[in-house]
Amino acid sequence: MARQMAFDLPTNVRLGAADFFVSDANTLAYVLMQTPQTWSNNNLAIIGPAGSGKTHLARVFAAQSGATIINAKDVRADTDLPNSNVVLEDGDALRTDGEEWLFHVYNALSRAGFFLLLTSRLPPARWDIALPDLASRLSTITSVTIDDPDDPLLTAVLLKHFADRQLAPTPNAVAFLMKHLPRSFNAVRRIVDTLDREALAQSKPLTRPFVRAVLDSMPHDEG
């Protein structure tokens, strides 16, 4: 059978509060996100690898608090200063020409009593910051880390990735994946992406034999 062309179409990623699964691996991050009044100096950083749920928690916080969402990669020196709570995503990707902006945002939010939520792969104290005054302020921000997924969270993340892509694996396929998946958020995302592409290209349902064949064909470093 001829292979169909598979395109990386945008997926319907659900980022509402009801879609977030709480487990031992992310309980502290979830509780702190829900209780900004407990944050030291009104600041918090959520730390974790790609796919760990940082963005999901940040979007829930933004929806509940009216926060402005800004990606650090988009920040420049002339970026407007928000007059609201702020979510700064991928903070460790902040460019040098955005450091002055974040310094002013930090101070302005502090004076106004607004909250600043950061997401990052690294704690703010470990960001590569050239501006000494900003580095000093970032070093005081409390960080909470989302741990490697336990089995309940890994199952929930796996099923969410399938649901976001409107895929329906068989129960046996899910059980097989849970037995053989690397225990990392990024591995789950990459494997579901691959299964989605291959299922479309080969016009195959996500059965256990198909899933096993796809996993066997993937390089070992895919996990």
Q: What is the pLDDT of residues 77-122, one digit of tens each?
A: 999 999 999 999 999 999 999 999 999 999 999 999 999 999 999 9
Instruction: Indicate whether 101 and 172 sit together in one domain.
Output: no
User: 155 and 141 share a domain?
Assistant: no
Using alpha carbons only, what angle is made at residue 59 by residues 223 and 150, rounded to the nearest 5 degrees? 35
CATH number at residue 53: 3.40.50.300
Q: What is the pLDDT of residue 151?
A: 85
**Do both 132 and 169 map to the same domain?**
no
pLDDT tens for 130-172 read: 999 999 999 999 999 988 788 888 888 898 889 889 999 999 9
What is the reported pLDDT for 11?
A: 46
Q: How far is CA 73 from the centre of its chain?
A: 15
